[in-house]
Structure 1
């Protein structure tokens, strides 16, 4: 099918489907907290941007490890793209330019095949504050081979470099044709480059734009899902990364140059794009409590555990136990998370229970939103376990089968719980039990027992404006 026909079909489908999409479920977020440190610099940067034409881009290419001989070609390409598309470009290898005052001049910083430890602690802090104030990041190729001892940077880039085979031809599969970096490409893009393997799969934390087809070359080690280009809205800013761009020839290729241009335009904010991971994170006001990188803030109660996987997910093992978020209690909130069963498995989301190292405390004092392929109607997927069945017809229409991801949204206001499955309301429950209350408590995930394998990702919470009495 020709690209134009494909776009026309997609556009028509989106136009028809938009009328049927449900409105946002969660109430408006609470009034913003006081501005954080570094926000004033961001405001000054925005004010400057409003007063000028075009954007300002800094290309940073310092190396403390392997140095790519394509760096001069990359700098020249970005400079020419700037001349042709109305943004200014400065290039540097001087890390001393990473100060709050200097970084505030730029809408995005391109890390062009940087390697090794290139910033000191103060410079790292300045760049973190720059991104938190709305700055953009573009990582090209060896930018993933940079700053291994700076975890924040690894999250910004999406993951770290692991290894690579020899330069060779391979097929790139484009997943997202809406992003400016990939909208010009066909579904398959055949090109020659040095093809990175990564330490982890960034899919759970980013929006993957393109993947490598490992069957078309030798030396890949990530299997059927091998991301090579992705973007994300990260810590207040915008992040775009492409693993392509090793060779000098890349920067003379029209398709790659347009790919790079689209990434820069997204990172500067000149062009809008959706960069939330599938299934969540795109709504304002949500705070990740599990982003795939660690279990900080969580505590295991009882036997079994959850295993943290390289792809940003966690999977239940053993039990019966409960992984609960001890860092904070919630009163009026929207809790969103993605879950996937391997087969006929059992797990659940617990809410409204007090802190305890006994998993049965959550059973006796809170409520479980069940995940179970087969059981009685009040004890299967979408049920408030033992209290109220889901709307089975609505549930069955919305439910994805084992092996595929589903998204729960739990909206708790006062003693009312509304449960959405993949944006469809499937349960509306009001607590009347005087022993239990939804108005304050912790949230947790059940590891049910041996043989039950349920995975979770993208757990995030939005606290709502005013609890309902």
Structure 2
């Protein structure tokens, strides 16, 4: 076997971990001890998602049950020699794909088809259903897929019809694959008798994740276990879309989960429980893991857990509950901040720029009729008017009006240090731009990271030539923005500072452009109590 990269967790380690968690046998992810481990191979190496950070979480989730012995096979990178990727699938009971990239060699494809058809288990995780749109057997294994040129020729849409209380197949023309903004959402079980879902609550919340919609494919021998409403308010399809599916391919069992976009999503207990149960079923046809109570998988608040942590009992102790509360989002944070409530403090006295300092650039800032006005300067780099105070967790609101042709923004939790690019202002920026444009999305100013928000589905919330109301919430690593009450961004950003100044940006312009102006008013902040 020629593997580019392999990580191996041996059976003795698994047995040790099982002994470690044995007081919690029958737990949320626990299982019976002294079983022959399910030999599992995770495949990664190419993906438009961050497989380098998500594969370890898949591995930890499976190993943490005490049921799985896990190897990882990493393909060559894009443009590499795929002939060198030739795992011996027959050495394993289960293959888990965290792969979305270039086609494998014909020999490897044939070997994989044979592995599944002859009884091997297969699990498809999230963007793995974007892969191999032209590989007929693979599409039969996953049932439904997205992107990669998929359309009505690939097969039907499959959706839950609430009126008919059944699944319907729609063969109308259209693309395959879509999703709205990443957001928490409720998963509804449609078959509570299947071994994967038996013993689980009838519905539960998944933490912030991509909710795949408009998937289409052969859908042969496919059974949908659970769905979720793809809400139009977040850019979704408006349908109850398949989330958890099983597919029979020859003598093999396949489990397809569309959950698991990133680290945040994989820290959701909903992802971990369904993955572990689905993987065991795909490999063995049964699920020995114990039931999960509504106190663990709640339909009110998404439960999160570090997959590397020891499994906890299905009925949490007082300490467990406290830990869960510390890790989940604060209730009410799904709603836009109430700017009429108490606790807001003005950032600007409407008279002068007391409490503010200019950093970088030669653009000018002045106060005119109770408004901060920033004016461009030809040849200047980006200029920033920054608060002298730093802020950690907070809610921010302001109104802004910008001349057509000028790009601007507001920095949050930003830094300016002499030893970093000679004091260059850097950190998250809430974009200000005339429509159609990326207003409200988050850009990493001065760091080289570019866009923090990778998808920009809403481009028309900003009203050109008018005052626009922005609202921002920063709590922990979670950043949320609204423009004119329209939700724009809701992301986790673990790579930026958790504290820093606020800054008003005037973008640099070239010779022959401008001058342009941008105006801010009603700048207010409400500091939040940091969560443990």
TM-score scaled by length of structure 1: 0.43
Give the number of the structure whose residues are more often helix, by fraction.
Answer: 1
TM-score, normalised relative to structure 2: 0.38
Structure possessing the higher radius of gyration over alpha carbons:
2
